[in-house]
Chains A and B, each alone.
Chain A
């Protein structure tokens, strides 16, 4: 019997378990998935929690619920991977041998990378919304905040879901309008990029929206430290931005397991072939989702598209066939813009987000790069799709793993 081991039972790992258990069956194959956590979180929900749009119950379920019965789930911390021996060492000394390894250990925030970020004001006036705890602490703060300077900030790229901080700024605008206190809140969006987003056409559209909502943008800001005493952020060039509440996206890093195993780059991401998702160093190791260093967005939609392609590639690898260089960096993201509207963007390694219709050319019903209520309904429906379709590895009708150019207005 051969062993396939999946590290991480988040979005990417869970999808792979669901894809593969019906392809690589017992008694020929034994599939194991390892994660130390008890809960599976719907991470896009962290964005809505601070504004009391979702409750904690909406976004937390158990890991077990989504792992197929014929896949062995081990809830234990992983000590290290020993790729030269095809072996995993778990905490407590247990070892797992593998024929094929799938790394899906994700990315997480590392506020300790920035001086003063995790200082005395952490979760008092300095918050993150990339963790459940951070998001909940922020909710409690915003519930009775009387107003002042709200600074929404990105530390450095790459980050998970690069549009989330923008959505946070838009939803904050909407939230305070609703509470009839918008005029008491000054919102500033601070980014290390030269503009609101990483791609030109989307940047244009998003900066227009920021302007329309009275959100000030500070670009090219590379933070050096958080001054807890005087409540301001300071960049390497000496620029200072004062805050009453700082909502920051700290540096994102891959799991420390990669450092312990000597498999990661300087941010603990695993060097991965961007079209096949095979590790650059080890032929029987595959990496998907946020754990890899490929130049695609770190987002659930990307992991979903990757999972479809990786499943085929693993089956090819098992049969000794060459891998297909198929993954194109496809990402599909809703961007909440507040007031019950949202934008949708669909893009890949080579094609930036543009206007158009999705998924049916000329029909929609979703509009690309334009605000609409239908897009917002799409975003809300997505939570149901995530729990009931996406995690189970079911193909989403009409949305292909590689990006379609039809219905998009390229010049």
Chain B
């Protein structure tokens, strides 16, 4: 499925997650954040970069692991990305929705 985000044509899945990370840039991230009513601060960006890096290293993402990352505790993670932080943050970061569950 194709979608125009920040003036670019981006391929996303039915839930709105990017399927090709090479199409992502910070403008795209900001636009997706806006849809979730989040305006990104430098603190948000620290977390987003961390998630992208973990994804690159093929680490399975989970709320528990982020809580133990030393970067951010779970409370702050929720404050930054309310409701379902991992799902929201990964969508903004342009990486797949974590399959933490079987």
Chain A neighbourhood of B77, CB < 8 A: 236
- Give A237 to B85 CA distance when docked, in angstroms: 9
Q: Are A266 and B64 neighbours in the complex by a CB distance under 8 Å? A: yes
* Chain A interface helix/strand/loop/mixed: loop
* Bound complex: CA A306 to CA B87 (Å): 32
Which of chain B's residues have a CB closer than 8 A to the CB of A162? Answer: 101-102
| Interface set, chain B 45-79, CB cutoff 8 A to A | 62-65, 68, 74-75, 77-78
Q: Mark A192-204, 1 if CB is under 8 A from B, else 0.
A: 1110001000000
Whether B87 and A194, one on each chain, are in contact in the complex, defined by CB atoms closer than 8 angstroms, is: yes
- Selected from B64, B68, B75, B85, the residue in CB contact (under 8 A) with A156 is B64
- We find that the number of chain A residues with CB closer than 8 angstroms to chain B is 19
CB distance A266 to B68 under 8 Å?
A: yes
Residues in chain A near residue B78, CB distance under 8 A:
222, 236-237
Q: Which residues of B contact A192 (CB under 8 A)?
A: 63
B63, A156: Cβ atoms closer than 8 Å: yes
Residues of A within 8 A of B99 (CB): 295
Asked whether A157 is an interface residue with its Cβ less than 8 Å from the other chain, the reply is yes
Across the interface, do A157 and B101 meet the contact criterion of CB distance under 8 Å? yes
Determine whether B100 belongs to the interface, using a CB cutoff of 8 Å to chain A.
yes
Task: Say whether A266 contacts B101, CB under 8 Å.
Answer: no
Decide yes or no whether B16 CB sits under 8 A from chain A.
no
A118→B78 CA distance, assembly (Å): 24
Chain A residue at smallest Cβ distance from B86 = A222
> Residues of A contacting B82 with CB < 8 Å?
237
Would B102 and A222 count as touching, CB distance under 8 A? no
A237: B residues at CB distance < 8 A? 78, 82-83
- Are A157 and B74 neighbours in the complex by a CB distance under 8 Å? no
In the assembled complex, B84 has its CB within 8 A of some CB on chain A:
yes
Least CB separation from B81: chain A residue: A237
Q: B101: which A residues are within 8 A, CB to CB?
A: 157-158, 162, 193, 198
Least CB separation from A297: chain B residue: B102
Annotate B21-40 by CB proximity to A: 1 below 8 A, 0 otherwise: 00000000000000000000
Query: B74 contacts which chain A residues (CB < 8 A)?
Result: 222, 224, 236
Pick from A222, A267, A295, A297 the residue with the most CB of B within 10 Å.
Answer: A222
A198 to B101, CA, bound (A): 6
CA distance A193 to B64 in the complex (A): 14
CB distance from B47 to the nearest CB of A (A): 14
Q: How far is the CA of A194 from the CA of B84 in the complex (A)?
A: 9
Residues of B within 8 A of A (CB): 62-65, 68, 74-75, 77-78, 82-85, 87, 99-102
- Given A157-B102, A237-B83, A298-B102; 17 other pairs, CB 8 A cutoff: A157-B100, A157-B101, A158-B101, A158-B102, A162-B101, A194-B84, A198-B102, A220-B84, A220-B87, A222-B74, A224-B75, A236-B74, A236-B75, A237-B78, A237-B82, A266-B65, A295-B99
What 6 pairs across the A-B complex have the smallest Cβ distances?
A: A157-B101, A236-B78, A220-B84, A198-B101, A237-B78, A236-B74
Instruction: Give chain A's interface residues, CB within 8 Å of chain B.
Output: 156-158, 162, 192-194, 198, 220, 222, 224, 236-237, 266-267, 295-298
14 residue pairs from A and B, CB less than 8 Å apart: A157-B100, A157-B101, A162-B101, A162-B102, A192-B63, A194-B84, A194-B87, A198-B102, A220-B83, A224-B75, A236-B77, A237-B83, A296-B102, A298-B102
